[in-house]
């Protein structure tokens, strides 16, 4: 297959930053801010109107809005448990086994995340500690639209189950006939989820946040969605906990001369095929990869079922940068703070120590990002748009909260009373100080 050179040179941005990486920094900053929520005023207005409708009218609003946006009347709102079981029974044996293997690996990994309670003894006999408890109810949002995501069911449901959440409510948009994807239902079945509602969009987030006649109010909502879902999660945060404000997916690959060009191209396309807003970035010290990678991408796009999405993503948000050394690659990556970071280099463990900001690290030539998407074990719900600088993957703690434990003895209060009173007085809080003074004076009078 012959590919025109013009298509290769124009298909995505190429920067040579061997002398000065600043130009690359600007491009990376632009990519990271490609879907800033601050600029979505029109969408936010629409979202807030939808949330208010759901808050005021409950199920009636859900039925009306689903008919308006998704083209069917969701009566009943809840998926029949028999339909969930049937979806599992109709799933091919090979896919059943794959779902079960993924479920097992994800569950085993997340069990290692379970936070531990602790109780320590202070200098004066006081006990201080922290206790972890699961939330009572969790809501998981499973997107529809361009593709079905059974893996997202597993990645959201399993940490909640490991945490000990008693009730998990799943919402997901159905197609125009009112049906959910069978593999999504099969993933729910293998995860033990049987309360599923066929609604999506901002109205589903509203239902989980406020509760309706049919859908219970939850304590935490997790799961990715489109801009309306994300803005709805942002609006309801504070009334309910959320996992994160997820943006479009992104991968950054650092490659040296040991990387195989067909693997680089496949891994870039694996991200690009998600969404026209997905970002696929290559930082490399091997200048010979430039033409090879672009050529290989075009080769793999031939007869690709999602080629239009891939091309839009790569043309708008694809980037190849030539760097003078791997240290420069690491510095640029830390600035971008990618959701997924692949190190396709000779010594990935050595460079990994220099990586400070990344949602997930994939080390070496045998760890494509797809392993993390499906069954490696760590969660695939990761910080995007540079938020890996300060946030982490979804995990067991997302569905738990901690309570501080303070158990002072009489001696402990007496010994620390002067300091407490001084600090309270410095803030002008009379009753704070007095609450200690009363106890100390009563102790002194008993003596």
Where residue 364 falls (left for φ over 0; alpha for ψ -120 to 50; beta otherwise) is left
In this prediction, what percent of the chain has a pLDDT beyond 70? Answer: 94
* pLDDT over 60 (residue 22): yes
**Does 362 lie in the same domain as 301?**
yes
**Residue 12's pLDDT is what?**
59
Mean pLDDT of 369-380: 97
How sure is the predictor about 11, in pLDDT bands with cuts at 50, 70 and 90?
very low
Q: Are 252 and 336 in contact (CB under 8 A)?
A: yes
> Nearest 5°: CA angle at 206, between 205 and 211?
110
Give me the phi and psi of 412, to 5 degrees please. -65, -40
* 106: nearest Cα among 376, 394, 291, 346: 376
**Does 292 lie in the same domain as 334?**
yes
How sure is the predictor about 247, in pLDDT bands with cuts at 50, 70 and 90?
confident
Give a yes or no: residue 286 inside a domain. yes
pLDDT tens-digit map of 388-397 = 999 999 999 9
pLDDT tens-digit map of 128-158 = 999 999 999 999 999 986 568 999 999 999 9
Q: Are 224 and 143 in contact (CB under 8 A)?
A: yes
Kindly give the pairing relationship between strand 318-322 and strand 13-16: parallel
* pLDDT over 70 (residue 5): no
**Does 441 lie in the same domain as 328?**
no
**Does 73 lie in the same domain as 120?**
yes
The residues that are catalytic are 339-340
And the tokens for 387? Answer: 């938020």
**Does 57 lie in the same domain as 9?**
no
**Does 367 lie in the same domain as 257?**
yes
**Does 231 lie in the same domain as 163?**
yes
pLDDT tens-digit map of 260-318 = 999 999 999 999 999 899 999 999 999 999 889 999 999 999 999 999 999 999 999 99
**Does 218 lie in the same domain as 89?**
yes
Sign of the dihedral defined by the CA atoms of residues 292, 298, 303, 304, in that order:
positive
**Does 313 lie in the same domain as 287?**
yes
Sign of the dihedral defined by the CA atoms of residues 119, 122, 127, 131, in that order:
negative
**Does 342 lie in the same domain as 193?**
no
Give a yes or no: residue 396 inside a domain. no
Query: What domain count does the chain have?
Result: 3
Give a yes or no: residue 389 inside a domain. no
**Does 150 lie in the same domain as 276?**
no
Give a yes or no: residue 383 inside a domain. no
Expressed as residue numbers, the domain containing 89 is: 41-245
Sheet holding 127-134, edge to edge: 118-121, 127-134, 400-407
- Between CA 120 and CA 78 the distance in angstroms is 47
**Does 346 lie in the same domain as 417?**
no
- Between CA 198 and CA 264 the distance in angstroms is 38
Give a yes or no: residue 362 inside a domain. yes
Give a yes or no: residue 381 inside a domain. no
DSSP bridge pairs for 171 = 141, 197
DSSP letters along 200-252, please?
Answer: -HHHHHHHHHH--SSSPP-SEEE----HHHHHHHHHHBTTBEES----S-EEE
Beta-strand ranges (E) seen in 135-219 are 137-141, 167-171, 196-197
pTM above 0.75, yes or no: yes
């Amino acid at each position: 297959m012959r590919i025109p050179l013009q298509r290769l040179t124009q298909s995505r941005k190429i920067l040579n930053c061997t002398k000065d990486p600043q130009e690359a920094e600007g491009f990376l900053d632009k990519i990271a801010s490609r879907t800033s929520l601050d600029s979505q005023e029109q969408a936010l207005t629409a979202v807030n109107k939808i949330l208010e409708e759901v808050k005021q009218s409950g199920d009636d609003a859900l039925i009306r809005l689903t008919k308006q946006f998704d083209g069917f009347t969701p009566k009943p709102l809840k998926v029949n448990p028999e339909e969930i079981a049937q979806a599992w029974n109709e799933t091919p044996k090979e896919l059943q086994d794959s779902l079960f293997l993924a479920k097992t690996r994800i569950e085993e990994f997340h069990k290692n995340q379970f936070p531990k309670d602790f109780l320590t003894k202070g200098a004066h006999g006081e006990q201080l500690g922290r206790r972890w408890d699961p939330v009572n109810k969790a809501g998981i949002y499973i997107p529809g639209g361009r593709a079905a995501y059974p893996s997202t069911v597993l990645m959201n449901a399993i940490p909640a189950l490991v945490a000990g959440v008693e009730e998990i409510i799943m919402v997901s948009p159905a197609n125009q006939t009112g049906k959910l994807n069978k593999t999504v239902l099969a993933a729910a079945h293998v995860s033990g989820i049987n309360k599923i509602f066929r609604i999506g969009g901002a109205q589903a987030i509203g239902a989980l946040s406020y509760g309706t006649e049919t859908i219970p109010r939850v304590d935490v909502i997790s799961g990715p969605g489109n801009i309306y879902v994300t803005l709805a999660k942002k609006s309801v945060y504070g009334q309910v906990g959320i996992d994160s404000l997820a943006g479009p997916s992104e991968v950054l690959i650092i490659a040296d001369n040991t990387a195989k060009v067909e693997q680089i191209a496949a891994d870039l396309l694996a991200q690009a095929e998600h969404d026209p807003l997905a970002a696929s970035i290559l930082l490399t010290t091997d200048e010979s990869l430039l033409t090879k990678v672009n050529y290989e991408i075009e080769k793999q796009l031939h007869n690709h079922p999602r080629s239009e999405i891939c091309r839009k993503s790569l043309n708008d948000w694809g980037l190849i940068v030539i760097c003078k050394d791997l240290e420069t690659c690491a510095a640029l990556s830390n600035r971008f703070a990618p959701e997924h970071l692949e190190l396709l280099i000779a010594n990935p463990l050595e460079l990994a120590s220099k990586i400070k900001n990344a949602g997930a690290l994939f080390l070496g030539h045998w760890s494509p990002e797809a392993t993390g998407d499906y069954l490696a074990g760590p969660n695939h719900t990761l910080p995007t748009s540079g938020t890996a600088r300060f946030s982490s993957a979804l995990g067991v703690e997302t569905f738990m909260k901690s309570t501080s434990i303070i158990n002072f003895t009489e001696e402990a209060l007496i010994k620390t009373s002067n300091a407490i009173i001084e600090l309270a007085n410095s803030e002008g809080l009379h009753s704070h100080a007095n609450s200690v003074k009363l106890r100390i004076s009563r102790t002194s009078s008993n003596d």
